[in-house]
Amino acid sequence: MTHIIGKPLSRRTVLRGMGAALALPFLEAMSPTRFGLRAQARANPTHRFQTIYVPNGMAMEYWTPEGVGRGFQLSPILEPMAEFKDDMIVLSGLDATWAGNHAGASGSFLTGATRGGRNNTETLADVSVDQLLAREFARETQVASLELSMDKPANAGVCDLTLNCVYTHTLSWRSPTQPLPMESNPRAVFERLFGDSGSTERAARERRLRQQRSILDSVVDEVAALKRELGPQDNLKVDEYVEAVRDVERRIQMAEEQIDIELPFFEAPQGAPASYEDHMELMFDLQLLAFQADLTRVSSFMLGKEQSARPYPQIGVPDAHHPLSHHNNVPELIERMSKINRYHVELVARYMTKLRETPDGDGSLFDHMTILYGGGISNSTRHSPVDLPLMVLGGANGRLNGGRHLSYDDSPLMANLLVTLLDKMDMPIDKVGGSTGRLDIDTLAEM
C-alpha cells in the first residue's frame, strides 16, 4: 500500500539535477486507481565483436568464390578484401531461420528468430547475440554496445507486408519484445562515447566527466528523498532505477580511470555528411575510436536498412537499390547490382586497413576482433533465405582458422553460426533463436 500523502505523482515526474531530467519508471503512486493503497592487461588482449550488415540481398553470381577450402579464388565482389584473405572465412550454404521477406532478413540476422509479430504494432523476435555479449562486456566498459546505421531509425509504421518498420531498421534486440534503435547521426554517437565536450581533447573530456558526476550525485539525492514517501512496490521499482543510476556512475568512474588513454585528436562531427562514403567512413572511425579506447567491445552496423532505395551514382549506378534488387534475374541488372555489393566491400576493406594499422597490445585491433559481414537475403528477386552471403573477418584472438571458403551441403541454419561465434567469444550458449546446434567451422574437410 502506498504511503504517499496528497495527489498522485504525475506520470511526467522527473528527477532533475544540474540541468538534466531523468524520467522515473512507472510507479503505483502515479496511478489514480491505486492512489491511497577496467580493461584487461595489454598482454591479454580484449576480444571484440562487430557485425556489418548489407541490405537487399546479393548478386550471388558475383559473390560466391570459386573452389572451397584454402584453394578458393576471391569473387569479383570480394576482390577488394584480397589483403585480408588469410583472415577471412567465407561461408556458403547457410539458410535463414525466418524466410521470405525483408523484415525476416534483418530481423533474424542476429536473433535467429523464426517469425515476427502478427501485425504492425506487435514486435517480436529474440535476444540478439550482440546484446548477449553486451550484457557480459558491460561489466567492463562504459558503453555496453553500439547500434549504428547509415539510415535514420523508424520504429513505427509498416515497412514490409504487415510488419512493423522496426524489423527492417534494426539488428539488435535487448529482449524478444524490445528492439533497439540504430543511430545514424555521427554527432549523437560521438556524444554517447565522449559526452558533448566537442572533441577527444583530455581537458574537454574531464570537464564533461565532472559535470556528469554532479548530475548523478543530485539525482541520487532526489531518489532517496522520493523513496521515503513511497510504498513497498514502488520502492522496489525505484531500487531498480537506483541500480541503473549506479551503473551509469560506475561507467563514469571507468571513464575517469581511462582519462589518461592517449587518443588521436578527433573533432566532434557536425551531423551526417551528405556523401554516403564520407558518412560511412565517419561512422567506422567512431567505432574504431570506441574499440581503441575500450569504450565498448560490441558494435552492430547496418550499411543500409532493408528496402533501402539509396542510389549510387558515384559508382555509376543511379538506380534505387531496392527496386534494382528485384532484377528478375536479368543479367545486366544483376551485374549493376554487383557494383553496389562490391562498393560496400571496398569501403569496409578501408576500415579493415585502419583496424590493422591501429596497435592493440602485441598486435592490432584487427587481430583482436571477430567481424561478421553479410546479409539476410541471397537472391533478392525471390527474397531467398537460402545460401546467405556471409563471411567472418578478423584475427579473432587466434580463435578462428581463416583463409578458407566453407561450403555446406546440408543447409545448416545461419543461427547455428551465431552459436559457434559466441563460443569463440568465450560465451558458450546452447541456443540462439531457432538454432539447431553448433556449426562446424574448425574441422570441416578442406580441399
What string of pLDDT tens digits covers the 447 residues of the chain? 334 445 666 544 556 554 444 545 556 676 655 444 343 444 578 999 999 999 999 999 999 999 999 999 999 999 999 999 999 999 999 999 998 799 999 999 999 999 988 777 788 899 999 999 999 999 888 889 999 999 988 765 677 777 889 999 999 999 999 999 999 988 788 778 876 656 666 666 666 566 555 555 666 677 777 777 778 877 876 776 566 556 545 655 565 566 566 666 666 676 677 889 989 998 998 898 888 888 899 999 999 999 999 999 999 999 999 999 999 999 999 999 999 999 999 999 999 999 998 888 888 999 999 999 999 999 999 999 999 999 999 999 999 999 999 999 999 999 999 999 999 999 999 999 999 999 999 976 554
Q: Helices 129-137 & 414-424, crossing angle to 10 degrees?
A: 20
Q: Give me the pLDDT at residue 19, please.
A: 43
pLDDT in tens, 159-218: 777 788 999 999 999 999 999 999 998 878 877 887 665 666 666 666 656 655 555 566
What's the start-to-end Cα distance of the chain, in Å?
71
C-alpha cell at 14: 522527473
The C-alpha atoms of residue 324 and residue 311 are separated, in whole angstroms, by 9
C-alpha cell at 316: 555509376
Among 55, 64, 15, 10, smallest CA distance to 32 is for: 10
- Name every residue whose Cβ is closer than 8 Å to that of residue 278 and which is 6 or more positions away in sequence: none
Q: 3-state SS string over the chain? A: CCCCCCCCCCCCCEEEECCEEEECCCCHHHCCCCCCCCCCCCCCCCCEEEEEECCCCCCHHHHCCECCECCCECCCCCHHHHHHHHHEEEEECCECCCCCCHHHHHHCCCCCCCCCCCCCCCCCCCCCHHHHHHHHHCCCCCCCCEEEECCCCCCCCEEECCEECHHHHCCCEEECCEECCCECCHHHHHHHHHCCCCECCHHHHHHHHHHHHHHHHHHHHHHHHHHCCCCHHHHHHHHHHHHHHHHHHHHHHHHHHCCCCCCCCCECCCCCCCCHHHHHHHHHHHHHHHHHCCCCCEEEEECCCCCCCCEEHHHCEEEEHHHHHCCCCCHHHHHHHHHHHHHHHHHHHHHHHHHHHCEECCEECHHHEEEEEECCCCCHHHCCCCCCCEEEECCHHHCCCCCEEEECCCCCEHHHHHHHHHHHCCCCCCCCCCCCCCCCCCCCCCC
Q: Give me the pLDDT at residue 159, please.
A: 78
Q: Give me the pLDDT at residue 14, please.
A: 54
Which residue type sits at 156? A
The C-alpha atoms of residue 2 and residue 224 are separated, in whole angstroms, by 16
Which sign does the torsion angle of CA 113, 415, 387, 327 carry?
positive
C-alpha cell at 85: 584473405
Q: Give me the pLDDT at residue 106, please.
A: 96
CB-count burial class (<10 Å; 0-12, 13-18, 19+) for 373: buried
Among 302, 301, 308, 303, smallest CA distance to 160 is for: 308
Q: Give me the pLDDT at residue 358, please.
A: 87
The C-alpha atoms of residue 63 and residue 338 are separated, in whole angstroms, by 8
Which residue type sits at 134? A
